[in-house]
Structure 1
Amino acid sequence: MFAKFKKWVNLTRQKQRREEIAQTIELKNAIININDCDYFVARAQVTDVPEILEVERKIYGATPWNESAFLQEIRRRRDRLYLVVRKNDKLLGFAGCSFNRQTNEAHITNIAISPEYQSKGIGGYLIHKLIRKASLINMEKMTLEVRRSNVAAQRLYKKIGFIVTGKKAGYYFGDHEDALDMELDLSYLKGK
C-alpha cells in the first residue's frame, strides 16, 4: 500500500513540475528595442517553420534540421521554447531551448540569425531571454554546441559566461565539422 502511495506522490510531483515549467516558459508577444531598433519577439508557431528553414538555408546552405524536426520541437510546449524575432513581418532569427526536469538542465538546441542581422544584438537578446526562463524554473545549467569554426558565436557565448567543457568530433550534419560543448552555470541566478 505504501509503495502505491509513494508512486502516486512521485507522479503527482512530476505532473506539477511539468505544469510549472509549461506555465513559466509561456511568452507574451512583445515589441523590444535592441540597439535603437524595434523588433517583434514571439513564441515560434508551426506557421513560422518555412521561414525558420529559410534562415537556416541562408546560413548553412543545407538545413541541419528538417521541417518535421522543427514541427515536433515547436509542438512540445511543455518542455521546449522556441522564440522568433521579426522586423516588418520578416523573420530575422530564432532560438530554441529544451528544459529537462529530471536533470534540471536547459539546452539551447539551435540559434540562427540571418546574416544581414548578425552582430546587432539579436542573438544575445534571445540567449538572455532563454537564460532568464531557465533560471525561473530553477534549471541548474544551460548547455549548447557550437561549430569549432564559429569564432564569433563562441565569443558571444563566452561573454555571456559559457565555458568550453568538451568537444564532439564530426558532430555537424553535412560537413561533419567538430562541435565544442559549452556550459553556463545558472546557480548564480537563483533567487533573482
Structure 2
Amino acid sequence: MFNGFKDWLHKRFDAPEPISFGTVEEQVIQNQVVFRQAYAKDADAFEIIERQIYQASPWGRVGFLNELYHRERLYLAIMVNQQTVGYAGMSFNRRQLDAHITNLGIMPNFQGQGIGTKVIQHLLEVAQTQGMLTVSLEVKQHNPGAQRLYERLNFELLRVRHHYYRDDGDDALEMVISLPMRGGKGWQNKN
C-alpha cells in the first residue's frame, strides 16, 4: 500500500518532463535554416547576438543559462551554415495554460527574411502540443517591425505596460494569441 501511495504522490507532484524540440531543417526564403533545441553551450552565442541587436546585453550569459536549465522553458537555436544567427525562448505556465515568449533575437543581417516568423510558428506548435490555450509576449512600443510580425501571426494587443523596459523606459505592448485545439489551425499569416 505504501508503494502505491508513493507512486501516486510521485506522479501527482513531480515536475513534468522537460520540454523538448529536436531539430527541424527547412528553407526560409534564401537560407537553409536549422531550428534546434538550445543547450548551455549556446549561451555565449546568444549573448553575442543580443549585443549585436541591442548594443548591450540585457539578459547576458548567466540569464540565458538560468533559462536553459529551467524545466519549464524551451529555447531554440537558429542556425544558418552552422552559425548561430538567432534564438527564441518560451516559458510554460501550466496553471494558467499560457506559454510566454520570453526572448527572441535574430542577427541584424538575417532579420526581415522570414526566420522570425518560422521560429514563432515552431514555438506556437510546441505550445499547442503542451496543451497551452494561449501564447503571450511583450514587445517594445517603439519596435514597429516586431509588432507587424506578431500581428501577421494573429497576436492581438492585450494591454500596454508603461515603462516596462529598464534600459530605456519604453512601454511594452502585451500581446496574446489563443491557440486552437490540437489539430486545428489558428496562427497562419494574414496575407
Q: Give 2:146's match in structure 1, choosing from 153, 174, 179.
A: 153
Q: Which range moved further: 93-102 or 83-92? A: 83-92
Question: What is the CA-CA distance between 1:13 and the residue it aligns to?
Answer: 3.4
Q: 1: distance between equivalents of 2:103 and 2:49? A: 12
| 1:190 and 2:162 correspond | no
Q: 1:131 aligns with which of 111, 119, 124?
A: 124
Which one of 143, 149, 165 corresponds to residue 136 of structure 2?
143
Q: Which residue is 1:75 aligned to?
A: 69
Runs of at least 4 residues off by over 4 Å:
8-11
Mapped to 2, the partners of 1:86 and 1:191 lie a distance apart of 28
What is the Cα-based RMSD across aligned positions, in Å? 1.9
Q: Which amino acid aligns with 1:18?
A: P
Cα distance in structure 1, aligned partners of 2:181 and 2:103: 22
| Residues 32, 81 of structure 2: 8 Å contact kept | no
Change beyond 3 A, Cα 1:114–1:127 = same
Report how far residue 102 of structure 1 moved.
1.2
C-alpha deviation, 1:115, in angstroms: 0.8
Q: Is the 8 A contact 2:35 2:119 kept in 1?
A: no
Unaligned 5+ segments in structure 2 are 185-191
In the superposition, the TM-score normalised over structure 1's length comes to: 0.86
Unaligned regions of 5+ residues in structure 1, if any? none
TM-score w.r.t. structure 2 length? 0.87
Partner of 1:97: 90
What residue number does 2:16 align with? 18
Q: 3-state SS of the aligned residue for 1:102? A: coil
